Structure 1
Amino acid sequence: MQEKLVILGGGESGVGAALLGKKEGFRVFLSDRGKLKEEYRTKLMDNGIEFEEEKHTDSKIFNADLVIKSPGIPKKSELIQKLKEKQIPVVSEIEFASRYTLAKIIAVTGSNGKTTTTSLIHHILTEAGLNVGMGGNIGKSFAELVVNDEYDFYVLEISSFQLDDVVSFKPYIAILLNITPDHLDQYDYKLELYAQSKFKITENQSHEDYFVYNFDDDNITELLKEINTEAQKVPYSMNKELNDGTFQEGENVVVNFPDRLELNASEFALRGRHNVSNTMAAATAANILKIRKETIKRSLFDFKAVEHRLESVLKIGGIEFINDSKATNVNATYYALESMNAPTVWIVGGTDKGNDYAELIPLVKKKVKAIVCLGLDNSKILAAFDGLVDNMIETKSMQDAVRSAYMYGGKGDAVLLSPACASFDLFKNYEDRGDQFKKEVKNL
């Protein structure tokens, strides 16, 4: 008898899991409490997969042999708790997909820099002529890539929510970039619980695998004392020389594992100190994979920045407009402000996730000449930065925000959209917010 696979959530990961489940001989049922996008509905119908939308029918869910849950469904939700009580296994789409491929997996997690680092590694491996797919939290779902399983390598961006529900997921190279407060509302407001979920990326690794981690991140190094991993540990640091790792030495970055590779940091395509750190992680992974040194150097030089992440849009009237819409938390915005070399008009705001803006104050004093708030409720931002800049204004639309920022800017200045908040008060998602920013800049 066919095993029944129930998928909760009909977004990118859910539909990918449904397609893979069907291919692997499961009886698949997909359930989404919301309305499905047209493209996903069509995919399910074309593949003869049973589904429901705008409801969850208990009788069709609780007879499952295995449940795959969307990363967006909180693990504390009543439905998930009931499944656990009934001892029905619940896993993530990342876990499920990993069971059906023998390809080598390079998995990237962290609070910030995941998309950039994943894209950079994919770029290096592609330039090296390797047969490589990219997915997870970026682009296509891992499960959909595995349906045809035509790749020898997968580079995956993975969130803490995806890692919460892994059981045997085992990357060949696991990369942990940083751990800073984010999504704490889902982890009882305890940083250590959030950090532990990030560390699940390495828990199934063996001594033949590699765990690449940021030695400069205190949360990581402290937890490494408690959490046992069998993997070969390869640290990278901007502050300390490392014998078996990667470190910065003046203008150079030295990759010291498994053999020596010297890189000129001033030639890196990505801007900002935090991106030197991300580039170190990517170069370390590439060196472990024994990619030719010249290919690594060339790839780091000609990489194009990820859309919505410190993306230079246009220069108008001598003012550079920069789209960093993907900065949905304070730490990401910290990195963005830190990388600014021109007087900056900062567009900030959106749905607050329990943000503490205090760490941004020194950078605002040093780099920011005006603040444009963009959100339905800007009270926390107004209170945090009151008196620190000459001009601060509230706006409720992207058009007003961009026009106000242009008014405050002058030749040689920069306008930076780096919201430090989620986008859901005024926009569909951070991509929509970034696209609207670019459109309004072009309309100036």
Structure 2
Amino acid sequence: MKVIVLGAGESGVGTAVLAKAKGYEVFVSDFGMISDKYKAILNEFDIRWEEGKHTESEILSGNIVVKSPGIPDKVAIIQKILANDIDVISEIEFAYTFNTEPSVAITGSNGKTTTTMLTYHLLSKGGLNVGIGGNIGESYAKQVAVNPEKCYVLELSSFQLDGIRKYRPHIAVITNISPDHLDRYDYKYENYINAKFRITMNQTKDDYLIYDYDDVEIQRWLTNNKTAAKKVPFSISKKLEYGAYLEGQNIVVAMDKETVVLPISELGIEGKHNVKNAMAATAVAQLKRIRKQSIRESLSDFQGAEHRLEKVMKVENVQYINDSKATNVNATFFALESMKTPTVWIVGGVDKGNDYDELMPLVREKVKSIVCLGVDNSKIKAAYESVVDTLIEVQSMADAVKMAQRLAESGDTVLLSPACASFDLFKNYEDRGHQFKAEVNNL
């Protein structure tokens, strides 16, 4: 059996290592250049590879193709592979068959990284043998090659879910759904929603689907479609007989005759959206039989994900917050909603078809000044120029931070929450966040 791996990043190289360990013939092909770090790993395991091209004859000689989630199905080589009746799957599908312990899978348009990290934190502090992977950290496949018996908590994007066939998580979580990546789904929102719900397609009555009861799109899908899994809702607006809900200033998680009560004030992370993330993670922890006291302690000492409402530092009594991972309007909505002081907002980048009207009430209420950081800021200017006192355009992170410092007064917050992709001025959202933190540290 020959496995072809397309894309030699973290996911692809991890898949190649696992496939080699399981006795497959392996060939890795990347249309771009492969980093020295990954070349070294491929060479160490004696795995053949190519870069800067896709050799068609080699690729079409494979039995299975595992592709990087970043490669769209529309590209010519994928179309050729499919025309030759060769199955194209994701790393998740390939690695799953070698993972002896059922996994926990988490998806959603926003909150999935925080929920994945928090769930892993709760389970590992609770004494379980767990790993973390998927769209976060080390490759799931590479970890399975070394530790196949761990329960992995996996953050899964819609792209990764597109490539599953039989993958079945014991516990699945959908944090929320809002429009994102529509360019990969023929600009049809329903295609994107259906991709997210692939997380539950192979679940049985012995499995669990944890989901946001308040999310209109999730409710609509569950009304019109079936899942065999036992449904575990969470809500901040309705008291539920089964699931997680708010009662006063407490999170209540009531499941299978077990109830956990957690004061919101004890959460280590702030904001309404993080109350929901905590509900989802706590529901997983309860299903995995983690002790109540351990859950409570773990929720209070969890620090949150980098680039997600990350408190960088205070300078002259102005709090600087890095929310670079907010690459869509919905994520920025959560960020602005959690602001408690007048805010200087750094926004902009590559617009993904954003509707900025959704943020208008929050901008009017919370934002005093806007710093536009992007090559094309015309939509942001059109939306907010008449709403805030000051709106300034800049072309570098150094200028953005300096300008924000000038506009902020003692007691204010400077928030980087771009609502856009980063590729016009930065390598990715991490690069954007790291540059922001470096410039704040230079103040």
TM-score calculated relative to the size of structure 1: 0.98
* Partner in structure 2 of residue 281 of structure 1: 280
In 2, are the aligned partners of 1:324 and 1:336 still within 8 Å (CA)? yes
Shift of 1:151: 4.4
Alignment of structure 1 residues 275-424 onto 2, 5 Å: 275-424=274-423
* Partner in structure 2 of residue 250 of structure 1: 248
Distance in 2, Cα, partners of 1:253 & 1:241? 11
In 1, are the aligned partners of 2:99 and 2:149 still within 8 Å (CA)? no
Alignment of structure 1 residues 11-410 onto 2, 5 Å: 11-149=9-147, 151-258=149-256, 259-410=258-409
Distance in 1, Cα, partners of 2:353 & 2:133? 29
Q: In structure 2, give the amino acid aligned to 1:220.
A: I
SS at 2:314 equivalent = strand
Structure 1 unaligned residues grouped into runs of 5+: none
In 2, are the aligned partners of 1:115 and 1:138 still within 8 Å (CA)? yes
1:376-397 CA distances to partner (integer Å, 9 max, x unpaired)? 1111111111211010000000
1:232-274 CA distances to partner (integer Å, 9 max, x unpaired)? 1111111111111111111011101122111111211111111
SS at 1:263 equivalent = strand
Distance in 1, Cα, partners of 2:225 & 2:11? 29
Structure 2 unaligned residues grouped into runs of 5+: none
Distance in 2, Cα, partners of 1:430 & 1:318? 26
Distance in 2, Cα, partners of 1:77 & 1:56? 12
Distance in 2, Cα, partners of 1:432 & 1:41? 23
Distance in 2, Cα, partners of 1:101 & 1:126? 18
Distance in 2, Cα, partners of 1:377 & 1:50? 42
In 1, are the aligned partners of 2:180 and 2:328 still within 8 Å (CA)? yes
In 2, are the aligned partners of 1:133 and 1:151 still within 8 Å (CA)? no
In 1, are the aligned partners of 2:100 and 2:149 still within 8 Å (CA)? no
Which range moves more in the overlay, 256-265 or 103-112? 256-265
Distance in 1, Cα, partners of 2:355 & 2:283? 33
Distance in 2, Cα, partners of 1:340 & 1:36? 41
SS at 1:328 equivalent = coil
Distance in 1, Cα, partners of 2:298 & 2:102? 21
Which range moves more in the overlay, 73-82 or 86-95? 73-82
Structure 1 residue runs of 4+, over 3 Å off? none
In 2, are the aligned partners of 1:9 and 1:33 still within 8 Å (CA)? yes
1:295-344 CA distances to partner (integer Å, 9 max, x unpaired)? 00111111012111000011011100000011111100000000000000
Equivalent pairs, count: 442
Q: In structure 2, give the amino acid aligned to 1:39.
A: K
In 2, are the aligned partners of 1:173 and 1:209 still within 8 Å (CA)? yes
* Identity %, equivalent residues: 55
Shift of 1:150: 5.0
SS at 1:424 equivalent = coil
Which range moves more in the overlay, 256-265 or 171-180? 256-265
Q: In structure 1, give the amino acid aligned to 2:328.
A: N
Shift of 1:168: 0.4
In 1, are the aligned partners of 2:282 and 2:295 still within 8 Å (CA)? yes
Distance in 1, Cα, partners of 2:19 & 2:76? 25
Distance in 2, Cα, partners of 1:356 & 1:12? 33
* Partner in structure 2 of residue 4 of structure 1: 2
In 1, are the aligned partners of 2:99 and 2:150 still within 8 Å (CA)? no
* Partner in structure 1 of residue 426 of structure 2: 427
Calculate the aligned-residue CA RMSD, in Å.
Answer: 0.8
SS at 1:112 equivalent = coil
Shift of 1:149: 1.9
Distance in 2, Cα, partners of 1:415 & 1:38? 37
Distance in 2, Cα, partners of 1:4 & 1:288? 39
Shift of 1:8: 0.6
SS at 1:21 equivalent = helix
Q: In structure 2, give the amino acid aligned to 1:84.
A: L
SS at 2:325 equivalent = coil
Q: In structure 1, give the amino acid aligned to 2:358.
A: E
TM-score calculated relative to the size of structure 2: 0.99
1:44-71 CA distances to partner (integer Å, 9 max, x unpaired)? 0111000000111101111110000110
Q: In structure 1, give the amino acid aligned to 2:437.
A: K
In 1, are the aligned partners of 2:120 and 2:131 still within 8 Å (CA)? yes
1:49-95 CA distances to partner (integer Å, 9 max, x unpaired)? 00000111101111110000110001122221221111100000011
Distance in 2, Cα, partners of 1:175 & 1:225? 17
Distance in 2, Cα, partners of 1:231 & 1:239? 24
